[in-house]
Structure 1
């Protein structure tokens, strides 16, 4: 089956890097994710990544109780940079050329985010990792993923999770939960399903950017999603047809 995608944005949660640990980064999971990304890159796709910082920031959240929200959000952005640097190192070790671009200027470790430069990196076959969210407080990394995907004209947002797709209820709590192969954005909103935060979801709806939610921890799932070689995950579409 021919794939409609060429340029993708992969959204990963920081918590996914925890593995069985209580905090930090599981080296085996990081390496496995790098292998998945490398396989997609070698298949000819243009790849960009946004990764959260929950595995780092949640570990220090107790220390931020009562802290100013803006200060806490900037700490979260720095946590995403730690994960982004770790993923960049894992990819480079496997021979994948990368660029880490930060929404907050920190030239010693990352390029500043410039849209035209990001697109050029993709055209040259480099994997881009977007760090530090949007660079602004009050916005999640889901919103950063939606914003960057729209800016670089990505064909799809792939949200890698620890569940197989979008369900009508929490599959970790309800064994009878039903998974959707395809679901409209309107139905996601009506059912109040937790796909992305509302700001991120609205950005995708306004720009008709499809979203695919899938299990990143199943080997080869990422490649199957982008090549459309078999049905994997749940796709959010914006037209009822």
Structure 2
């Protein structure tokens, strides 16, 4: 285990920001909290102003979680599609918040709904990024049984992103839950294999394996820290870097 305490990763030109749906609900128990959505939009704006191209994947757990619906007796495929639709709602909310700041943003869905957002076409999405538009990928991979973590890793590889930034409630990856254990230790750096072997909960196993196979680093940081996203790109802050 190493702890760099916030040493800088390389400057990235194009990154994927993955956040959970729960990150958008603030202190509420469910749904969207507009001031929280606006604060996250501020974080994205500050990074884009550095010249970094940003794409995003947002989960849907604040509205509907497929696995929970399945556990309550709903057929899994149907439950997962409902979860995908929840991610579209979150993506539209984030798009609205970003556009309110005068930023250009596109929501691109893996499930066609042309009246609401664009369908996923890889070359078109890359062109949006090249034109410095923020791209939000919605509806996961378009397939049931895959999480938004896997969708974020897939899209990050397809978009030739240089890193995935996973915004969470804590400032990195710990050996146990820091909110329950005062002696929890944070990893400064950790390998993909160690994350899988120790079940560290960074992302689900298929997402970690996909990142490992394509040598795509994952930066885990606290989304609750104002300026944290930009700070890491400037070589400051506290985070965990998952890599080979």
**Unpaired segments of 5 or more residues in structure 1?**
none
Regions of 4+ moved over 2 Å: 1-4, 61-65
1:18-57 deviation line (CA, Å, top 9, x unaligned) = 2111111111110100000000011100000000000000
Deviation, structure 1 residue 73: 0.4
Q: Which residue of 1 aligns with 2:117?
A: 110
Q: Greater share of helix residues, 1 or 2?
A: 1
What CA distance in whole angstroms lies between the structure 1 residues aligned with 2:58 and 2:110?
13
Residues 224 and 232 of structure 1 are in contact (CA less than 8 Å); yes or no, is this contact kept in structure 2?
A: no
What CA distance in whole angstroms lies between the structure 1 residues aligned with 2:152 and 2:145?
14
Aligned residue among 34, 52, 76 for 1:27: 34
Q: Which residue of 1 aligns with 2:243?
A: 237
1:85-135 deviation line (CA, Å, top 9, x unaligned) = 000000000111001100000000100011111110000000000000000
Residues 96 and 126 of structure 1 are in contact (CA less than 8 Å); yes or no, is this contact kept in structure 2?
A: yes
What CA distance in whole angstroms lies between the structure 1 residues aligned with 2:209 and 2:10?
25
Note closer, same or farther for the CA distance 1:57–1:206 as it changes in structure 2 (3 Å cut): same
Q: Which residue of 2 aligns with 1:170?
A: 177
1:13 aligns with 2:43: no
Note closer, same or farther for the CA distance 1:67–1:160 as it changes in structure 2 (3 Å cut): same
Please state whether the residue corresponding to 2:196 is helix, strand or coil: helix
Residues 228 and 237 of structure 2 are in contact (CA less than 8 Å); yes or no, is this contact kept in structure 1?
A: no
Q: Which has the higher contact order (CA 8 A, sep 6+)?
A: 2
Q: Which residue of 2 aligns with 1:45?
A: 52
CA RMSD of superposed structures (Å): 1.8
Please state whether the residue corresponding to 2:112 is helix, strand or coil: coil
Residues 22 and 62 of structure 2 are in contact (CA less than 8 Å); yes or no, is this contact kept in structure 1?
A: yes
Q: TM-score, normalised by structure 2?
A: 0.93
Residues 30 and 63 of structure 2 are in contact (CA less than 8 Å); yes or no, is this contact kept in structure 1?
A: yes
Deviation, structure 1 residue 148: 0.2
Q: Which residue of 2 aligns with 1:132?
A: 139
Please state whether the residue corresponding to 1:67 is helix, strand or coil: coil
What CA distance in whole angstroms lies between the structure 1 residues aligned with 2:58 and 2:207?
14
Deviation, structure 1 residue 224: 1.1
What is the total number of aligned residue pairs between the two structures? 237
